[in-house]
Chain A
């Protein structure tokens, strides 16, 4: 184990920031807490992704085997496509989802630019980038909602079969996390407009950014595993 001693300056105590520069890892309490939280989220999304993979594989297995209970939950044409492909790929609109992915990636960029802005004291840019990130996130959610309605119309419902349950749960959880992130971004924006988000609080933006990037990473995983890999 690393043997790390805290610098002597801390003994004086009175000026000790806990903003990371005197702690043994160099991370402030809040930043460390966010990383720990994200670590636990790895396990959460890992479980959801695994559940999705297993559920969908089982679902396709039943469709291919011609299980009538399962076949009754989707339109016949769709069932034929699934059986022919041996996967649920036919239902996905890859170009549309790619656009969604692009939007989310761009929002990560604007997020990191927002943090850069506040570190440099550029509050105008901070607000522009925060608002853009939130807007891009909202567009992503809108895209997801649209995609879900398309699926409903095509016959995939939440309670119908294993695939529906698993798909909507996984992407739904991701969407809820994105929405939570958007709320945090809007809160930051409001705080900034009230003049209370100053350069010395840049770390707050960074920490919200960590959360946002993590949500983006989860989408990177979901996009590849769910949409691209049959």
Chain B
């Protein structure tokens, strides 16, 4: 088991884990973004000016959680199998793409 453990360490991505401080930092960033989002929705903007920054912030929060908490930021760098990142982002883009088209077909009756 020890040889295996040693071998394990060589491949181990645990060296690349964030520190506790970095996790707290991510958390604070998430809270701040949420606060900005809420404030943004209250300042009376409308239309694209209201929606676009909200979407951007939402996407930022998404990548913060996925990248830091779900470790994807490190996994994608280290893993030599690009299939995995394709699979995950493929699923995401697929979902977004398909549902966007459905929405468009309805709302704008294209």
A residues with CB within 8 A of B: 1-2, 4, 9, 15, 17, 21, 24-27, 32, 35-36, 39-40, 42-43, 46-47, 49-50, 53-54, 57, 94-95, 98, 101-102, 105-106, 108-109, 111-113, 116, 119, 206, 209-210, 213-214, 216-217, 220-221, 223-225, 228-230
A27 to B71, CA, bound (A): 12
Binary interface encoding of chain B residues 88-110 relative to chain A, with 1 for a CB under 8 A from any of its CBs, else 0: 10011011101100110011000
B81 touches A46 (CB 8 A): no
Whether the pair B83, A1 counts as a contact (CB closer than 8 A) is yes
- A57, A108, A214 pick with most chain B CB within 10 angstroms: A108
Give the residue of A106, A214, A220 whose beta carbon is less than 8 angstroms from that of B27.
A106
Given the interface contacts A4-B81, A46-B98, does A109 sit within 8 Å of B24 by beta carbon? yes
Residues of chain B touching chain A, judged by Cβ–Cβ distance below 8 Å, are: 3-4, 7-8, 11-14, 17, 20, 23-24, 26-27, 30-31, 34-35, 37-38, 40-42, 50-51, 54-55, 57-58, 61-62, 65-66, 68-71, 75, 78-84, 87-88, 91-92, 94-96, 98-99, 102-103, 106-107
Contact B92 A42 (CB under 8 A): yes
> Which of B17, B57, B96, B107 meets A46, CB within 8 Å?
B96
Q: In the complex, how many angstroms separate the beta carbon of A89 from the nearest chain B beta carbon? A: 9
A39–B72 CA distance with the chains assembled, in angstroms: 14
A23 to chain B, nearest CB (A): 9
Q: Kindly report which residue of chain B lies nearest to residue A221, judged by CB atoms.
A: B58
Using known A-B contacts A46-B99, A106-B27, A111-B69, determine if residue A228 contacts B8 with beta carbons closer than 8 Å.
no
**Alpha-carbon gap, A43 to B27, bound state (A):** 27
Known: A21-B11, A26-B78. A220 touches B92 (CB 8 A): no
A224 to B7, CA, bound (A): 45
Q: Are A213 and B66 in contact (CB under 8 A)?
A: yes
**B27 proximity list for chain A (CB < 8 A):** 105-106, 108-109
Q: Which of A1, A108, A113, A230 contacts B65 (CB 8 A)?
A: A108
Are A42 and B95 CB-contacts (below 8 A) given A98-B34, A98-B38? Answer: yes
Q: For the complex, give the distance between the alpha carbons of A161 and B65 in Å.
A: 34
Knowing A105-B30, A116-B20 touch, does A50 contact B99 (C-beta < 8 A)?
A: yes
Q: Is the CB of B81 within 8 A of A24?
A: yes
Smallest beta-carbon distance B104→chain A, Å: 11
Q: With A4-B80, A25-B83, A228-B54 known to touch, is A102 a contact of B31 (CB < 8 Å)?
A: yes
Q: B47 — nearest CB in chain A belongs to which residue?
A: A230
A92 and B38 CA atoms in complex are apart in Å by 12
Known: A9-B7, A26-B13, A229-B54. 18 other contacts (CB 8 A): A2-B82, A17-B4, A26-B81, A36-B87, A54-B103, A105-B27, A105-B34, A108-B65, A108-B69, A109-B26, A119-B14, A214-B70, A216-B65, A221-B58, A228-B41, A228-B54, A229-B51, A229-B55
Q: Which residues of B contact A105 (CB under 8 A)?
A: 27, 30-31, 34
Name B79's closest neighbour in chain A (CB-CB): A26
